[in-house]
A = this chain, B = another copy of it.
């Protein structure tokens, strides 16, 4: 399909393997206005796992009123039971009530969703940053008691649409607090896509100096200004091995203006394939899955790779 391209040429100082944390089914779909049928979501997740993605974020146990698109979490999650051996299926959990629902269904990986800025914490969680940390505390504690893996999302790590540039020290403080609560892993979100490689390296270095090891850090870049992949390269050069991406580039953020465009998993896999970095993902099957989902959503994928490869096949 790709004529033997990209040509594989490794580069020094990069990891041998990267784990892609696929967010298309949750982060990607949550802003879709027309509700996607539960069966379609289940098939999407099965196809993503079938393409070789080993971590597929499945849904969110947020209050159905907040995110109507994901109100079917109770119906969806049991439909994924057969994937247990194939892929991790983390779910978003905002609070103790959400955790109850997730645990009742047998979720083994959860994620809490924090903010590095007060404005976004207020708009997204209706709390201060410290109040949100207090809300997460019993959630994380109980999850860990049950040996459930906990990811801590941290939004607005590089810029905030209301506050502008976000100081590195401010991000480090909240990141450290999430680790101290017991998060196994952080996901540093560039929610509005404004980061550049020097900023990425500065934040990673500051986190290391504050005692957060690179192995506990994932990166979550947005392509709002076309910067997601170069920022990812900088993060890989620093040693990061967990990268969030969204199949077909689905998604954005409803609470932040200009926050369009998750990094497309296909564009990421193209680069990693070229660099000879193992992901386990079959780019052809993944592209076919995103093209299939784009048809269901009634509009073309924003992923350049999906468009280029689909064009080639037609």
Contact of A5 among B6, B164, B223, B311 (CB under 8 A): B164
From known contacts A11-B234, A258-B308, A312-B257, infer whether A276 and B198 are also in contact, taking CB-CB under 8 Å: yes
From 184 to 212 in chain A, residues with beta carbon under 8 angstroms from any chain B beta carbon are 193-199, 201-202
Does A10 sit within 8 A of B, measured CB to CB? yes
Partner of A271, one of B11, B223, B230, B312: B230
Number of A residues, CB within 8 Å of B: 53
Kindly identify which residue among B11, B196, B311, B312 contacts A197, using a CB–CB cutoff of 8 Å.
Answer: B11
A224-B308, A303-B226 are contacts. A6–B196 as well, Cβ < 8 Å?
Answer: yes
A1-21 CB contacts (< 8 Å) to partner B: 2-11
| Total copies of this chain within the assembly | 2
What is the CB-to-nearest-CB distance from A97 to chain B, in angstroms, rounded to a whole number? 36
Whether, in the assembled complex, A50 has its beta carbon less than 8 Å from a beta carbon of chain B, the answer is: no
* A232 cross-chain contacts in B, Cβ below 8 A: 230
The 8 Å CB contact of A304, one of B9, B10, B226, B275, is B226
Binding site for B on A (CB under 8 A): 2-11, 158-159, 161, 164-166, 193-199, 201-202, 223-227, 229-230, 232-234, 257-258, 260-261, 264, 267, 270-271, 273-276, 303-305, 308, 311-312
- Given known contacts A3-B161, A229-B229, what 11 new A-B pairs fall within 8 Å (CB)? A4-B164, A5-B165, A9-B201, A11-B198, A11-B201, A11-B234, A194-B274, A196-B274, A225-B308, A226-B303, A229-B230
